[in-house]
Amino acid sequence: MLFNLPAGDWAKGERGLACHPDRVEEFRAGVTLAIAYAQVLGNTQINCLAGIRPQGVDDETVEKTFVANLKYAADKLQAVGIKLVMEMINTRDIPGFYLNNTAQALSIREQVGSDNLFLQYDIYHMQIMEGDLARTMAAHLEEINHIQLADNPGRNEPGTGEINYRFLFEHLDRIGYAGWVGCEYKPLTTTEAGLGWLKAHNAI
């Protein structure tokens, strides 16, 4: 599975450091720390959160900072056999989050130019931001190295909202997705009761 690079002070509302030009050294120190944790835990991939766009910084500087930080992290992780993924997050739950759709992520990936940078595709976030889930995952299967899920609205377990997860699970099998699908939802009632979706959606 995976964990996130250090994302700053979560209690103060920080959601990543990678797009902040004044915190590059802190980001790089976080890469070193993450590698140490991953080698102990046996993780083979690490997620980078772009962060909330810093106020008063122009678009070009924010983008260049993000690209440079991703290149640094991808290179350092590749040297020790760990893959880097980046996650697109909706701007309703996290207003101002810098990386928020697939097209933007693909553009950033092209600029980074590393074969060790992939997308983490969170179905919940992308349903809110762009929809067209099945086609997008099929079109960019080679760039997606991890998938996460929750239903929408509510961010609860599959079967509680509008997303047709039975279809999407079958679709992922059809297109040959071989990675993990992580569950990042809030149980509607209890954790145990919420797990009933696995059988209902033919996921076990």
Give catalytic residues, as residue numbers.
87, 184
> Each residue of 24-46: b (16+ CB within 10 Å) or e?
eeebeebbeebbeebeeeebebb
Q: Which amino acid is at 93?
A: D
Q: How far apart are CA 152 and CA 127, in angstroms?
A: 8
Distances (CA, A) of 158 to 39, 188, 192: 33, 10, 14
In terms of Cα–Cα distance, which of 16, 39, 164 is closest to 7?
16
